[in-house]
Structure 1
C-alpha cells in the first residue's frame, strides 16, 4: 500500500505549501510595473529588512504553526473519527463563515492593540512594518510572538469555535493563506477575484502599511466590518502614478 497523509498532517502542512506556491506566482508577476502599487525602486529603498531575513522569519513562524496545528489536532480527535461524520454543504459553509468571523475579530483587536500599545509596537509589531512596501512572501513576516498571538492562536480559536474537522481545515486555512498572501502581493491585477469579492484587499492593506494609514485599516484577512464599526476605516482611491502603476491614496482625512 502507498503512503497516505492523514488529514491532520495535510491540515498542518498544506497551507505552508500553498503559501510558497502562491507567493511564487506573484514573484513571477512582480515585473508587471503597470499593476504595481509601488515601484521596484520604492521596494528596495523603503523596506528595512532583507528578503533573506524575511524568508527566515516566515519559515520560523510556519514551523511554530505546524507544531501547534499537529498538537491541536491530536488533542481534539483523529481523522478517522472526523471522517465518519458526514456534514452537508450548508453545515460546512456555516463552519467556514463562523471561522472567518472569529479569525477577523481576533486579529482586528489584537492587531489594533499592538499598534496602540507603544511597547508592543516597538518591540514586536514594528517588525512586520519593516515592509513598508509589502510583497507576497512577506505576508507572514512577523515577530514570532506576534505570529503566535495573531495567526496561530487566532487560527486555533477559529478551528475550535467553528467546530470544523481537520479535513475541512485543510481547505479553510489554505484559502485563508491565499487571501493573506494576496493582501500583501502589492499588485492590483484586473479580474482579481479577491478584489471583486472582498473590500479587504491588496490596496486596503497597503494603506495600512503607509505612515498615513498606520492607525487605520486594521482588519484582516477577510472583511472590513470592525474598521467601519469602530471608526478606523480609511477610504482611498486607486490613482495612476506618473511612473506607471497605481497608488492607493486617501480620499479624505480621518482623525484617530
Structure 2
C-alpha cells in the first residue's frame, strides 16, 4: 500500500500545475498589457480557420484511411498492393512538399479533369467550366493534409483490425453474419480500443500541422501572427502569443482525449 501511495505521488501531474500557472501568468500579461492584448486579438482571429481545417481534414483523412486499410486487408492482391503503394509513397513525402504539390500541381490537374468530364454539360449550358482559382487555397491545404494523414491513419486501422482475435471473426462467419455485420458488431467495437490512442495522437498532430497552411497564405493562427509580426516587428510578443494559443489547443485536447481513453478502458474492464 505504501508503495502504491508513493507511486501515485510520483505520478501526480506537476507538469500540468506548472503549465496552468504559466498559462495564468500569460493571460494576466495579455489583460494588463495593451500590446499583448492587441497581438492576442489579432492572432486569435485565425483560430476558426485552424479549427475548421483540422476538423475537416482529419474527418476526411479518417474516412480515406479506413478505406485504404480495408483495401490493404482485402483478399485481392491487386487491391492490397495498391494500398501498400499509396501508404509507402505518401509517408515518404514531407507534409510541406505534399502541400505545395497538391496546391500547385494537383489542383490544376483536378480542375482540368473536371472540365474534361463536364465538357458535355458545359457545351449544353448546364454547367460552367471551372477555373483553378475556384478551388480555394484553404481547400487545397485540406486535401493535402487529408492525403498525407490518411497514409498514417490507414496503418492505425490495419493494426487495430488485425489485433481482433481471429477466432471471434470465424465464429461470426459461422453464425452467418455478412462482412458488413461482422465489421460493425465484432471487429469495430474491439478494434476501436486499440485504434483510439494513436488516432487521438494523430488528431493532436493535425492541429499542429495545420499551421503549414500558412505557407499558402491561409489566414490561420500562424498566418495572422506572421502578418502582424512582419508589420509591427514585434516578433517576440507575436510568436509568444501564437505559441500560447497552440499550447492551449493541443494540451487541452490531449487532456480531453486522455480522459475519453481512460473512460473507454474502464468501460471495457467492467
State the TM-score, normalizing by the size of structure 2: 0.32
- The structure that is helix-richer by fraction is 2
- Structure with higher Rg: it is 2
